[in-house]
Amino acid sequence: MTKNPEQLSMDMICPNSQTNTKKWINESPKTEKESEKINKFCVIIPDRGDRKDFTKHCLYQMSVQTVKPDKIYHIKYEPTSPVPDLIIRIRCGINHAERDGYDLCYIIENDDFYPINYFQKMQFEDYDFIGIGRTIYYSLLQKKYRFLNHKEVERLNYDRSSLFCTGFRISALKDFEFPDSTYKYLDLDLWRYARIKGNYHLYNPVIMPIGMKHGIGLCGGGGHKISFHYDNNDSDLEWLKNNVTQKSYEFYLKVIRMINN
């Protein structure tokens, strides 16, 4: 069940903008034990409006989750410049979530794949930060994929998660200093801070969200570039078909045809 978007008032963190919010009611039947574990939570979707089909698919993915967000902060307003503004949009969402009384928050990126049991499997429990220890990237441009261990590839002395599969308690960010607003790699700073705080958990990648790479709109990660190295070929799209839902597969197939024409 969906509710029409409500308009929220802005403050200085979101200048000259409008925030669209959608609220879904958790109607999926849950056992008493499951209900005790699942706390009220929200998601933040930063969106520049430059890949509308991906956004539509993203909102569909949220609507079919076995455990649905209590509130979605869809931070969509006209960009004021061509430079990245991901951090501004995320801070805008955090500000509104905190004002509305939410503490548990997930970052959802509008172009990525999320299995229907994503929130059901990746719960906060007693942690302040949660994520997935190994990222799966899929290039719709190249029809290739890669399993990436950030600790090994980036030569870090700690494990971390990608931003698109990161959750945090807003209350745990009180000492976090956000980097410059045009900085593209918020996940690096956020997980460095999570390690210092100590109360975090990285789930097994069997949960299987997938970072989709395509080159559409303003893209932050290097995986969108042709030069990015992918280890595994999927020319027949069998791996993709077997690891996303049928509706998502049909959507990505349309995107592949579009970007390769």
Please give the structure tokens belonging to residue 122.
Answer: 């990746």
pLDDT of residue 80 exceeding 60, the answer is yes
148-to-153, 162, 185, 258 alpha-carbon distances in Å: 7, 10, 16, 27
Mean pLDDT, residues 217-228 taken together:
61
Residue-level pLDDT at 24: 42
Does the pLDDT value for residue 181 go beyond 50?
yes
> What's the rounded mean pLDDT across residues 17-26?
44
Of the pLDDT bands very low, low, confident and very high (cuts 50, 70, 90), residue 29 is: very low
Of the listed ranges 80-84, 86-90, 154-158, 204-208, the one predicted with least confidence: 154-158
Alpha carbon distance 96, 73 (integer Å) = 8
Q: What is the DSSP string of 75-116?
A: EE---SSSS--HHHHHHHHHHHHHHTT--EEEE--TTSB--T
- Output phi, psi for 90, to 5 deg: -65, -40
Between residues 4 and 139, the one the model is more confident about = 139
How confident is the model at residue 150, as a pLDDT? 73
- pLDDT, position 149: 80
6-30+37-259: CATH topology is Spore Coat Polysaccharide Biosynthesis Protein SpsA; Chain A (3.90.550)
Whole-number Å distance between alpha carbons of 235 and 143: 6
| Arithmetic mean of pLDDT over the chain | 83
Q: What is the pLDDT of residues 226-245, one digit of tens each?
A: 566 788 999 999 999 999 99
Mean pLDDT of 81-89: 90
Q: What is the pLDDT of residue 212?
A: 94
Domain residue limits, the chain: 6-30+37-259
pLDDT at 4: 30
Pair of tokens at residue 57 = 């698919």
Question: What is the average pLDDT across 137-155?
Answer: 84
